[in-house]
């Protein structure tokens, strides 16, 4: 497919980090035009400035700086909002209304706007004004309670920002794309209330629904997918490396038992009395070869076994390399940056995207394209309202 899926979709992103910035990154990878809207330099401290490499260095995006607290700045933003398809913001509930750029205000001038508000706990409710980060949302959604434990016996810190990415960013992307499809039929936009904590709840639905159905209280190693059985677990090899085993289906389990020399367990996959003896035998078997030896043997044997790779190893993995998962892009000040490409559904190529110089903006061009005259834009720049 030559035309990007979100070609001709314009997104105004008012965020600097977090789920909203992840969402605009992925929307950009699908072909949307992303305009990063930030504060004036004198107000820069109100937002976190991520490292140059973060969020794929904002490849393919344009940048605008505006003082939204000034009437003229607000009006300039609203002029640009008339041309937008999507607005993403991550302020606390009530802030955009105070600034005069909330959904109702924008909808009055642009009925088709898809306005996505991303917050930790949503636009209303007892916790709507509570601050939080990824770890907090995973905590209240039960993710940490049901995952593995650290050496002290407490919940283990996750190795990725699961809430920011899956529960927040991809949650927002899915909602925005659904709203755009709906708009194509009705011509009307909508306000999306993306609560990261509720996105995390949706990720935990298997455990939560089990509790509702049976009254059970899932915890670490409680169920099939959290390590109760030896055939869905992690095992250490002779060289200290680890392998992930996910042999859920009966035929995969039978293949695993055969390859490990543990055929005695082949007909006892769910036998409760066999859980720990089977785990002990699997542990002993995995300890007889190195990680890579087992991976080479078990991977092609339909056993659902893969090595646990570190970051260095995965960047050189032949499968990811063959899939063009990593690309080199030129940063205007940092030189060549290697980064994860547009990997979600492989719809666009990051090699075609440019890295903007974040010390400059496209403010004048963007506002002129939104209908302001060059004299009006020059006046706003002189007043210190935009840059």
Q: What is the pLDDT of residue 350?
A: 45
- Residue 96 pLDDT: 98
Strand partners for 194: 118
With a cut of 50, say whether residue 346 has pLDDT above it: yes
Q: How confident is the model at residue 347, as a pLDDT?
A: 61
Q: Does residue 296 have a pLDDT over 90?
A: yes
Catalytic residue among 133, 239, 271, 292: 133
DSSP states along 7-59: TT-EEEE--SSHHHHHHHHHHHHTT-EEEEEE--GGGGGGS----TTGGGGGT
Categorize the per-residue pLDDT at 352 as very low, low, confident or very high, splitting at 50, 70 and 90: low
Residue-level pLDDT at 1: 52
| Model pLDDT for residues 315-339, shown as the tens digit of each residue | 999 999 999 899 888 888 888 889 9
CA distance to 17, 326, 347, 356, per residue, from 342 (Å): 19, 9, 7, 17
- Residue 351: the pLDDT is 45
- Which is more confident, 149 or 93? 93
Higher pLDDT: 272 or 60? It is: 272
Average pLDDT for 168-186: 97
Comparing CA positions, the residue from 108, 135, 131 lying closest to residue 121 is: 131
CATH of the domain spanning 224-307: 3.30.1540.10
Token reading at 315? 């960047």
Weakest mean pLDDT among 58-72, 122-136, 168-182, 328-342: 328-342
E strands of 127-198, at which residues? Answer: 190-195
Q: Does domain 10-202+345-382 have CATH number 1.10.1660.10?
A: no
- Per the model's pLDDT, the better-predicted residue between 260 and 59 turns out to be 260
pLDDT band at 208 (very low <50, low <70, confident <90, very high): very high
Give φ, ψ of 31 to 5 degrees: 110, 0
pLDDT recorded at residue 224: 87
Q: Range(s) for CATH 3.30.1540.10 in the chain?
A: 224-307
Clarify whether 222 is annotated catalytic. no
Cα–Cα distance for residue pair 278/284, rounded to 1 Å: 10
Q: For 224-269, write each residue's pLDDT tens digit.
A: 888 899 999 999 999 999 999 999 999 999 999 999 999 999 999 9
Q: Which of 164, 193, 233, 281 is catalytic?
A: 164
Active site residue 127: no
Compute the mean pLDDT over every residue in the chain, rounded to the nearest whole number.
Answer: 93
Residue ranges matching CATH 3.40.50.10540 in the chain: 10-202+345-382
Q: Mean pLDDT, to the nearest integer, of 203-222?
A: 91
What percent of the chain has pLDDT above 90? 80
- 327 three-class SS: strand
Q: So what's the pLDDT on residue 354?
A: 75
Q: Which helix (H) or strand (E) holds 27?
A: helix 18-29
Confidence of residue 47 (pLDDT cuts 50, 70, 90): low
Confidence of residue 42 (pLDDT cuts 50, 70, 90): confident
pLDDT computed for residue 356 by the predictor: 80
Say what the pLDDT of residue 348 is. 52
Query: Residue for token digits 């283990």?
Result: 156
By percentage, how much of the chain surpasses pLDDT 70? Answer: 96
């Amino acid at each position: 497919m030559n035309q990007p899926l979100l070609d001709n979709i314009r997104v105004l992103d008012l965020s600097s980090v977090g789920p909203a910035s992840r969402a605009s990154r992925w929307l950009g990878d699908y072909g949307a035009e992303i305009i990063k809207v930030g504060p004036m330099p004198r107000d820069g401290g109100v937002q976190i400035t991520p490292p140059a490499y973060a969020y794929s260095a904002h490849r393919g995006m344009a940048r605008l700086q505006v003082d939204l607290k000034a009437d003229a700045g607000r009006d300039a933003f609203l002029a640009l909002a008339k041309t937008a398809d999507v607005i993403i913001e991550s302020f606390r509930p009530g802030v955009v209304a105070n600034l005069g750029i909330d959904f109702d205000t924008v909808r009055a001038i642009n009925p088709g706007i898809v306005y996505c508000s991303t917050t930790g706990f949503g636009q209303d409710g007892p916790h709507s004004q509570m601050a939080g980060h990824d770890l907090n949302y995973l905590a209240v959604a039960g993710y940490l309670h049901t995952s593995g434990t650290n050496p002290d016996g407490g919940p283990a810190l996750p190795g990725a920002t699961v809430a920011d990415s899956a529960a927040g960013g991809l949650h927002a992307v899915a909602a925005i794309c659904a709203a755009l499809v709906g708009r194509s039929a009705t011509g009307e936009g909508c306000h999306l209330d993306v609560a990261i904590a509720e996105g995390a709840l949706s990720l935990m639905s298997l455990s939560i629904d089990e509790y509702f159905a049976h009254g059970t209280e899932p915890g670490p190693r409680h169920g099939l997918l959290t390590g109760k059985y030896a055939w869905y677990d992690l095992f250490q090899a002779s060289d200290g490396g680890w392998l992930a085993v996910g042999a859920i289906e009966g035929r995969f389990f039978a293949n695993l038992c055969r390859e490990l020399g543990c055929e005695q367990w082949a007909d006892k996959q769910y036998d409760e009395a066999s859980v720990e003896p089977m785990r002990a035998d699997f542990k002993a078997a995995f300890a007889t070869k190195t990680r890579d030896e087992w991976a080479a043997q078990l991977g092609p044997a339909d056993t659902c076994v893969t090595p646990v790779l570190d970051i260095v190893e995965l960047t050189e993995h032949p499968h990811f390399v063959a899939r063009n998962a990593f690309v080199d892009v030129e940063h205007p000040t940092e030189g060549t940056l290697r980064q994860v490409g547009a990997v979600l559904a492989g719809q666009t190529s990051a090699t075609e995207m440019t890295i903007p110089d974040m010390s400059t903006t496209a403010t004048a061009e963007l506002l002129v394209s939104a209908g302001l005259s060059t004299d009006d834009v020059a006046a706003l720049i002189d007043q210190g309202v935009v840059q």
